[in-house]
Amino acid sequence: MAPSTHRAPASDADPAAADSAPAATAPRPGRRAALRHPLVRHGLWAVAALAAVAALTAATGPVTDLRVANVGLHLLAVAGLQFLVGTSGQVSLGHGAFMFVGSYAMALLVVNVPAMPLAAGMAAACAAGCLAGLVVGAATARLHGPYLAGATLMLAVGLPAIALRFPDLLGGANGLAFATIGAPPFLAGAVDDTQWRAIVVWTVALIGLVVLATASAGRLGRHLRALRDDAAAASLSGVPVGRARVTAFVISAGAGSLAGACQAYVLGTATPSTYGLSLSLVLLAALVLGGLGSLWGAFWAALAIVYVEVAGTELAHALDLSTDVRNNLPVVFFGAVLITVVLAWPRGVHGALSALGRHRSTPLKTGDSR
């Protein structure tokens, strides 16, 4: 009746025999299996994307390089939010707060420990964000829907105010400014500082994306999507619902803080106003615009965050408006784009594109990985 009479507790003894059989019979098992491994598949995509970024930044000037870097770090931030909202179904209005944590962790480390290598700073900022995510996730694990959104909203409003509360340590409203490392000496002449920073940001972002894509496509992603769809049934199927929810929060916060660390690295400053409520709202709105449920959605979202604002600013300048109007026009423009896109394509840009090319698999899709 059942597929076989093995039971879960007793199944530890049989895997070796069961697993070796298909590998032994498949032709050229090593290479085929290696290419099918999610880490290898996602890693190849990441290498291709990094090559594209390097080529793009080499062909363009510093202004575009900075925007490319901005797209990269926002891509990582929105991908982290995607993991939380799209995969685990927990709506967070406080993702910007985790970027704040990463940004200030990075700034504090650079200011106080100048000898520290960049990679160690990034790792420490990510760890700080994960810790913050653990605390927040554990505190909100029993909240759902609007209550969770409300609690995370408090986080977005309250956390950046810490910088104002401790001006000696965190620099108050002016934040922390520091000198960031430019291109290494051996690349002098070939790669300028801005281009180098764009490449560093994209390297970090793509490492984060590979982890997120691998986690989404595998067991953890399945657990989270199951509890998103029906928590009671997921629990009865063996998914530890509370722990999985907190895990999603930790991973999402880790990605957000890594993005914040990248932003501090690119800007050379960490200021509280950068990570206010509006950032959190923009991240979530952009995710909806890009399309929930896929990392491609996060990509469109990151493009929208950077380039809709650029377009809005240029529009304001072109129209020669007063300063008050000019400062607010990009936000209005973003809102208008969001409303238009969601009205036209309720499932976001990615939803519309995948409806166009239905049945064609998208390699970074967070769903079934085959």
Partner 1 sequence: MATAPPVLAVEQLTVAFGGLTALDRVTFDVPHRSVVGLIGPNGAGKTTVFNAVSGVVRPRSGTLSRHGRPLRRHRPHHLPRLGISRMLQGLGLFSGMTVLENVMVGADPLATGRLPGMLTGLGRAPRDERRVRERAESALREFGVAHAAHALPGTLPYGVQKRVALARACVCGPELLLLDEPASGLSADEMSELAERVRAMRAYGSVLLVEHHMDLVMRVCDRVVVLDFGRVIADGTPDEVRADPAVERAYLGPAEGDSDDPAAGPAPEAHPTGEEADDGR
Question: Is 172 a residue that touches partner 1 (CB under 8 A)?
Answer: no
Q: Rounded to the nearest whole angstrom, what is the least distance from the CB of residue 6 to partner 1 in the complex? A: 6
Comparing CB distances to partner 1, the nearer of 230 and 314 is 230
Q: Per rule CB under 8 A, is residue 15 in the interface with partner 1?
A: yes
Closer to partner 1 by Cβ: residue 56 or 91: 91
Judged by CB under 8 A, does residue 45 bind partner 1?
no
Does position 2 interact with partner 1 (CB under 8 A)? The reply is yes
By CB under 8 A, what part of segment 141-170 binds partner 1?
A: none
Distance between CA atoms of residues 134 and 243, nearest Å: 10
User: Tokens 């939380």 label which residue?
Assistant: 84
What is the DSSP-derived secondary structure letter of residue 181? Answer: P
17 counts as binding partner 1 under rule CB under 8 A:
no
- Does 322 help bind partner 1 (rule: CB under 8 A)? no
List, in sequence order, every residue forming a beta bridge with 176; answer none if it has no partner: 270
Q: Which of 18, 63, 120, 154 binds partner 1 (CB under 8 A)?
A: 18
Closest separation between CB of residue 258 and partner 1, Å?
Answer: 14
Q: What is the total count of residues that contact partner 1 (CB under 8 A)?
A: 47
- List binders of partner 1 among 199-258 (CB under 8 A): 211, 214-215, 218-220, 222-223, 225-226, 228-230, 232-241, 247, 251
- Residues 6 or more apart whose Cβ sits within 8 Å of residue 181: 118
Q: Which H or E run includes 74? A: helix 62-82
Q: Among all chains, which residue has been given the structure tokens 């199944």? A: 11
Nearer to partner 1, 141 or 241 (CB): 241
Q: CA-based Rg of the chain, rounded to a whole angstrom?
A: 22
Measured from the CB atom, is 183 or 364 closer to partner 1?
Answer: 364
Question: Could you give the CA distance from residue 74 to residue 298 in angstroms, rounded to a whole number?
Answer: 9
Question: For the packed helices 219-229 and 241-267, what is the interaxial angle rounded to 10 degrees?
Answer: 110
Q: Does 31 contact partner 1 by CB under 8 A?
A: no
What φ, ψ does residue 233 adopt, rounded to 5°?
-70, -35
Of residues 26, 29, 32, 39, which one binds partner 1 by CB under 8 A? Answer: 39
Contact between 13 and partner 1 (CB under 8 A)?
no
CA dist., res. 40 & res. 112, Å (int): 37
Q: Would you state the structure tokens that stand for residue 97, as one six-digit string?
A: 């707060």
Joined together, the tokens standing for residue 304 give 């929208």
Q: Is 28 a binder of partner 1 (CB under 8 A)?
A: no
**Taking the CB of residue 203, how many other CB atoms lie within 10 A of it?**
18
> What's the helix, strand, coil split of the chain in %, to 5?
80, 0, 20
Q: Tell me the CA distances in angstroms from 236 to 1, 223, 239, 247, 368, one per residue in order.
A: 21, 12, 7, 19, 22
Nearer to partner 1, 318 or 370 (CB): 370
Amino acid at 172: G
Which residue, 17 or 115, is less far from partner 1 as judged by CB?
17
- As measured in angstroms, the least distance from the Cβ of 54 to partner 1 is 25
User: In terms of CB distance, is 79 or 170 closer to partner 1?
Assistant: 79
Nearest distance in Å: CB 160, partner 1: 29
Does residue 294 sit in helix, strand or coil?
strand
Q: Tokens standing for 353?
A: 């594109």
Task: Check residue 288 for interaction with partner 1 (CB under 8 A).
Answer: no
Nearer to partner 1, 3 or 185 (CB): 3
Part of the chain binding partner 1 (CB under 8 A), chosen from 10-18, 54-62, 152-160, 315-323 = 10-18
- Spatial CB neighbours of 231, under 8 Å, sequence gap ≥ 6: 241
Interface residues with partner 1 (CB under 8 A) are 1-9, 11-12, 15, 18-19, 22, 33, 37-39, 211, 214-215, 218-220, 222-223, 225-226, 228-230, 232-241, 247, 251, 293, 367-368
